[in-house]
A and B are shown apart, each in its own frame.
Chain A
Amino acid sequence: MKAIRLEFYKLRHKHLIVMMTLILLVEITWAFMATSMSISRNPEIARWETLILMLSTMNGLFLPILSAICVSRICDMEHEGNTWKLLLTISVKRWHLYAAKYMCACLVMLWMCILQVFSISGFGIIKGFDDPVPFLLLAQFLSGTVLANMVIIALQQWVSMAVKNQAFALTLGMIGGFIGLAADLFPFGIRRLFVWSYYSGLSPVRQNYVNEQMQFITQDISNLLPLMSLLSMSGVFIYLAGSIHISRQEV
């Protein structure tokens, strides 16, 4: 806990959370404007599922980039001032620092996800959707997004720690954003190879076209569990590989 608190202390004056919240608000505004326009054209889709699906899809573009920025800012502090030497001579263990940075990035991104859930609830209530707030669907949406974030953060952290030049990590985030947005266009087998595809992949709502009519399919959590397990295992593997690799690097 002390190490995680210290990571937040080190983030002072960087305005990271404010900056990321502002970027997220752009995404939310965009998603809600698009949803409003769709609803005004077709009032039948004024449902919670529309909102959740819209944000899940847009998360594929925005959250990989936000994760890359967040992790890069957290890791670059150590490269910038050569602080690895300082920390290691104070007997800080590398895997310990790696874990603290990972948790710090996960907590910042968790705040982003929670903000999305509150925004969805607020928008639905303001728009006067017929159904009450779907807590179960929102919980599923939250868990899927958080899990995808955690895996992407593990990957970004490995790159940000291993390569001093943060342009690499940020480029990876942007490529991830592109793949995340376009993932649903890939064949199913290929789509699952990319960790960025899981924002829409783990969404509790899917859309389907039957007779040129858009239908929303709500997925039960039990259907998503195998996919979540697969993603969790990939995440653990990426995290451990990164942590071991960085711990073995010489200063």
Chain B
Amino acid sequence: MNQIVTTQNLSKRYGSKYCVKDINLSVSEGDIFGFLGPNGAGKSTTLKMILGLIRPTDGNVKVFGKDFEGNRQLILSQTGSLIESPSYYAHLSGLENMRIVQRLRDIPEKNVSEALKIVRLENQKDKKVGQYSLGMKQRLGIAMALLSIPKLLILDEPTNGLDPAGIGEIRELIKSLPKRYGMTVLISSHLLSEIEQIATSVGIINDGNMMFQGNMDELKNKSHPNIIIKTRNNLLAKELLSDKGFSPFYREDSLVFGNLTDEQVIQVNRSLTAANIDVLRIEENKKNLESIFLEITGKGRSL
């Protein structure tokens, strides 16, 4: 599959601190690539470097297989984006804002009405953008990004400020873009639930470093279940099972085992009953994506 965006050792340093360090991003054609990370992890900085808004300290960016430097005009003509907060002229109407982008991009008039229709702003198009709600401004930003029906769409936290219904609509819209227009979408978010529902591939960034990159299934496979066993005498049970080569640890009033096979579970149960230790409960605890994400990005941090 064609690589639409690739970065090699992309880094950005402000002063002595690296905000982004050696990022090797790879987004395939037709993907909805979720770029996930806590606030301040370096998502926006990476996206800005991909769009040429800031210069990398090290590394390079290729979009559509071409070096960004030297092909800027061509790459940007086929890329739509919404970075951080939406950009707009508050004293102009939604339609006038769209016309500015239309004239700059030199695209037909019909795209304006189509883009407004896609984001359901056609009834508000004559209102001044200064009077729009945050959600409407966000939709206008997405409409501007979609105006040229680009091959690559880069959206930085596009659901910020939207109400749950709006989030749902934008989610469905983004999901439909690869099929409807053959677009590749690179979307960043700090909300795992958002990315989980729409992304086909995912990259997790934390403190400027790429912690994981792959498709959603690979991420889910990181979810090895724990086996939790509760007995009447956990202390004795731990000693006994440690002697038999298992390495359980305490959690609350239970013993927790890492990934055990079914055979190993049977063996543990037999050993305990043979030693007259009553087994009260055996549970399988599957980690959800959120736990994996927290594990990857550091448990103590807030999202």
Q: Are A90 and B91 in contact (CB under 8 A)?
A: no
Query: Of the 9-residue stretches A78-86, A131-139, A145-153, A199-207, which lies at the interface with chain B?
Result: A78-86
Residues of A within 8 A of B103 (CB): 2, 6, 9
Q: Which residues of A contact B129 (CB under 8 A)?
A: 81
Size range of the chain B interface in the assembly:
20 to 34
27 residue pairs A–B, Cβ–Cβ below 8 Å: A6-B103, A9-B96, A9-B100, A9-B103, A10-B92, A10-B100, A12-B91, A12-B92, A13-B91, A13-B92, A81-B90, A81-B129, A82-B86, A85-B53, A85-B87, A86-B88, A87-B87, A88-B51, A89-B51, A89-B53, A89-B76, A89-B79, A89-B81, A90-B76, A91-B72, A250-B55, A251-B54
B87 touches A81 (CB 8 A): yes
C-alpha spacing A251/B53, complex, angstroms: 6
Q: Does A225 contact B (CB under 8 A)?
A: no
Say whether A88 contacts B53, CB under 8 Å.
Answer: yes
Tell me how far the C-beta of B144 lies from the nearest C-beta in chain A, rounded to whole angstroms. 7
A250, B53: Cα distance in complex, Å: 7
Cβ–Cβ contact A77 & B89, under 8 A: yes
B247 at the A interface (CB under 8 A): no
Whether A91 and B87, one on each chain, are in contact in the complex, defined by CB atoms closer than 8 angstroms, is no
Question: Taking CB as reference atom, which chain A residue is nearest B103?
Answer: A6
CB pair A92 B89 closer than 8 Å? no
B124 CB within 8 Å of chain A? no
Please report whether the interface of chain A is mostly helix, strand, loop or mixed according to DSSP. Answer: helix
> Are B76's CB and A91's CB within 8 A?
yes
Q: Out of A10, A82, A88, A251, name the residue touching B85 (CB < 8 Å).
A: A82
A10 touches B89 (CB 8 A): yes
Q: Are B101 and A14 in contact (CB under 8 A)?
A: no
A83 CA to B53 CA, complexed, in Å = 12
Interface string of A1-23 (1 = CB under 8 A from B): 01000100110111000000000
- Closest chain B residue to A92, Cβ basis: B104
- Tell me, in angstroms, the Cα distance from A91 to B81 when the chains sit together: 12
Indicate if the CB atoms of A80 and B76 lie closer than 8 Å: no
Query: Do B52 and A87 touch (CB < 8 A)?
Result: no
Bound CA span A92–B51, Å: 12
Q: Which residue of B lies closest to A84 (CB)?
A: B87
B101 touches A251 (CB 8 A): no
The answer for the CA separation of A122 and B104 in the assembled complex, in Å, is 42
A-B contact count (CB 8 A): 69
- B residues less than 8 Å from A86 (CB atoms): 87-88, 101, 144
CB–CB A6/B83 < 8 A:
no
Nearest-CB residue, chain B, relative to A13: B91
Question: Would you list the 6 A-B pairs with minimal beta carbon distance, nearest first?
Answer: A86-B87, A91-B76, A83-B87, A81-B88, A82-B87, A251-B53
Number of interface residues of A (CB under 8 A): 23
Which chain B positions have C-beta within 8 A of A2?
103
Decide: B87 and A250 in contact? CB cutoff 8 A. Answer: no
Minimal beta-carbon separation of A91 from chain B (angstroms): 4
* Chain A min CB distance to B85 (Å): 6
Report whether A90 and B89 are in contact in the complex, using a CB–CB cutoff of 8 Å. no
In the assembled complex, the Cα of A13 lies from the Cα of B90 at a distance in Å of 11
* Known contacts A6-B103, A85-B84, A90-B76; A14 and B91 CB within 8 A of each other: yes
Which residues in A have their C-beta under 8 angstroms from that of B87?
A: 81-87
A2 to B100, CA, bound (A): 11
Q: What string of 1s and 0s marks CB contacts (under 8 Å) between A184-203 and chain B?
A: 00000000000000000000
- Separation in Å of the A3 CB from the closest CB of chain B? 9
B93: nearest residue on chain A (CB-CB)? A13
Bitwise, B51-95 to A at CB < 8 A (1) or not (0) is 111110000000000000000110011010101111111111000
On whether the beta carbons of B76 and A83 are closer than 8 Å, the reply is no
**Residues A6 and B92 in contact, CB atoms below 8 Å apart:** no
List chain B residues, Cβ under 8 A from A250: 53-55
Are the CB atoms of B100 and A6 closer together than 8 Å?
yes
- Scoring A12, A81, A83, A88 by chain B CB atoms within 10 A of each residue's CB, the highest score goes to A81
Q: Is the CB of A91 within 8 A of B73?
A: yes
Contacts of A251 in B (CB 8 A): 48, 53-54
Q: Which residue of A lies closest to B91 (CB)?
A: A13
Tell whether B222 is near chain A: CB-to-CB under 8 Å.
no
Minimum CB–CB distance for B145 against chain A, Å: 9
User: 1/0 per residue A51-91: CB within 8 Å of B?
Assistant: 00000000000000000000000000100111111111111
Further contacts, 5 of them, CB under 8 A, given A12-B92, A88-B52, A90-B76: A10-B100, A82-B84, A89-B51, A89-B53, A251-B54
- Quick one: which of A13, A86, A91, A92 has the most chain B CB within 10 A? A86
Residues of B within 8 A of A81 (CB): 87-90, 129
Say yes or no: B105 contacts A90, CB within 8 Å: yes
**Chain B residues whose CB sits within 8 angstroms of the CB of A89 once the complex forms:** 51, 53, 76, 79, 81, 83
User: In chain B, residues 90-136, which have Cβ atoms closer than 8 Å to a Cβ of chain A?
Assistant: 90-92, 96, 99-101, 103-105, 128-129
Nearest to A9 among chain B residues (CB) is B100
Whether B53 contacts A91 by the Cβ 8 Å rule is: no
Complex: chain A residue closest to B97, CB-CB: A81
